[in-house]
Chain A
């Protein structure tokens, strides 16, 4: 069964550094998303991406964040100048269409020290 994959499973970085979280969405899906879950809190929407453009972003997704689909398979989330409060589980998701179910990857745990 096709699934969303994410690497790395755990990323540790120093405050102020840049990190890139990687995702491989399900191959025939066209819509891509990033969500995050801070420990003990809700899963929160960050950004949606379609046709090489951001469709929607939340207030969390400030100018330190960026997304990219560098090739036909990967979808990346870059966080520059990381802060302690960026520590969270980051989930990538994809869907075949705008109204189709979003399928989630296993997540990347980001720890900012």
Chain B
């Protein structure tokens, strides 16, 4: 049951360049999407989110883009820094009733090289 898919298990970029992490989803009932960052031995840390009524949300170096027709979202980090090296999880949430649980992707390990 892969309702949220992150097809790239890992990504390596140079410091200062752009990192683009991708996420696809299959459930059209999802209407809110989040990105979490996770360091080893820590819990997921909220990074940025986007509602399905928007196609872009920006917070500092982080921008999330949503293409609802393609059921695809991406996280852009510009410029990438070595401290950004972590596992990034895409998560999705539905609306109404009891559908507020988060459904996570498998994560993408980002390595930013100095």
Contact = CB atoms under 8 A, between A and B. Distances in A.
Contacts of B41: 106-107
A45 interface: yes
A15 to B, nearest CB: 25
Q: Which of B36, B49, B100 has the most CB of A within 10 A?
A: B100
B43 A91 contact: yes
Interface string A78-113: 000000000000010000001101111111000000
A91 B102 CA distance: 13
Contacts of A56: 98, 100-101
Contact of B105 (A31, A33, A42, A58): A42
Interface residues of B, number: 21
A102 B102 contact: yes
A108 to B, nearest CB: 10
B106 A104 contact: no
Interface residues on A, range: 20 to 34
Interface string B77-104: 0000000000001010000001011111
B98 A42 contact: no
A91 B107 CA distance: 16
Contact of B100 (A6, A99, A103): A99
Interface of B: 32, 34, 36, 41-46, 49, 89, 91, 98, 100-107
